[in-house]
Structure 1
Amino acid sequence: MGRFCCFPTDPLGDVETWSESVDKVLSCKAGQIAFREFLKSEYSEENILFWLACEEYKKIKTVPEMISSANRIYSEFVQTEAPRQINIDCGTRENITNNISQPTLTSFDTAQKHIYSLLARDCYPRFLKSDIYQGLLRRNDSR
């Protein structure tokens, strides 16, 4: 039980709705935390971290900030041998590499869509069966 101490107590009312779609999980903080915990247990935490980084990236308003953020995302997740390298095809990786010096708000869109579908099709169904999610559901019921 102790490992859920990082969850805010109130938004867990949403736990039931998480089984409706991966978007429901990704759209709330508690869902992101739970999904991330699950992915960490599967050694694929980089997927949600990259997805979240892309969501933040798309909100950027200034070019200098965009450039530094794009480079950070690139070096952490995209480049070959990145510490949290995501699993994308080499064409997508090459495209990002070629354009990283002049990033736009859509620079990571293709990669993000790919990772999103991986999360939705592959990780999300397993998350719903996981002890992490089932435990939260039970805890929610017993309140």
Structure 2
Amino acid sequence: KGRFCCFAREPLDDAGCWEESVDKLLECKSGQMAFREFLKTEYSEENILFWLACEDYKKIKSTPEMISTANMIYTEYVQTEAPRQINIDCGTRENITQNISQPSLTSFDTAQRLIYGLMAKDCYPRFLKSDIYQAYLTRSKKR
């Protein structure tokens, strides 16, 4: 394909490539926005927010920043009763809880994989059928 999805200057340049894979959707800012908009309608916006937070977290270079960001992710998404609590098994949650005082760049990997799987298998196929996606598709075809 001669087209570069999502790297073009127009943010909606090629919503058509989003249906190739959940990765194509997530590697693209406008794709993330569209998916987030959709997840809001399903009350599961925390999934993409957590996934994006983990992506940023893995790029951190300094230990103090890593510690403060790990704690922010933990209190926002992971701990029981967190304001945007993600749907992960108690073993994974427990594991993160035990190690949160000494976080590493892989602290959230298991949870992130679980949430990725949930989005890919569960939310993504519904997103492709959604009015939100169809609207983006129509807009990108009009250009």
The letter of the residue matching 2:25 is: V
Gaps spanning 5+ residues in structure 1: where? 1-7
Name the residue aligned to 1:3.
Answer: none
How many equivalent pairs are there?
Answer: 136
**Residues 1-143 of structure 1: matches in 2 within 5 Å?**
10-143=10-143
Name the stretch that deviates more: 89-98 or 12-21: 12-21
Identity of aligned residues (%): 76
Gaps spanning 5+ residues in structure 2: where? 1-7
Residues 15 and 140 in structure 2, CA contact (< 8 A), matched pair in contact too: yes
- Kindly indicate which of the two structures has a greater share of residues assigned to helix: 1
- Give the drift of 1:141: 1.8
Residues 39 and 45 in structure 2, CA contact (< 8 A), matched pair in contact too: yes
Structure-2 separation of matches of 1:120 and 1:14: 20
Name the residue aligned to 1:5.
Answer: none
Structure-2 separation of matches of 1:85 and 1:98: 17
Structure-2 separation of matches of 1:65 and 1:141: 42
TM-score, with length taken from structure 2: 0.92
Which aligned runs of 4 or more in structure 1 are off by greater than 2 angstroms?
Answer: none
Structure-2 separation of matches of 1:121 and 1:134: 19
The letter of the residue matching 1:48 is: I
Task: Report Cα offsets for 1:101-128 as digits up to 9, x if no partner.
Answer: 0000000000000000000000000000
Structure-2 separation of matches of 1:109 and 1:14: 30
Aligned with 1:74: secondary structure? Answer: helix
Aligned with 2:13: secondary structure? Answer: helix
Structure-2 separation of matches of 1:109 and 1:142: 39
Structure-2 separation of matches of 1:105 and 1:140: 37
- Compared with structure 1, are the counterparts of its residues 122 and 42 closer, same or farther at alpha carbon in structure 2 (3 Å cutoff)? same
Structure-1 separation of matches of 2:27 and 2:140: 19
RMSD across aligned positions (CA): 1.2
Aligned with 2:12: secondary structure? Answer: helix
Name the residue aligned to 2:4.
Answer: none
Task: Report Cα offsets for 1:14-68 as digits up to 9, x if no partner.
Answer: 2110000000010010000000000001100000000000000000001100000
TM-score, with length taken from structure 1: 0.92
Structure-2 separation of matches of 1:82 and 1:57: 18
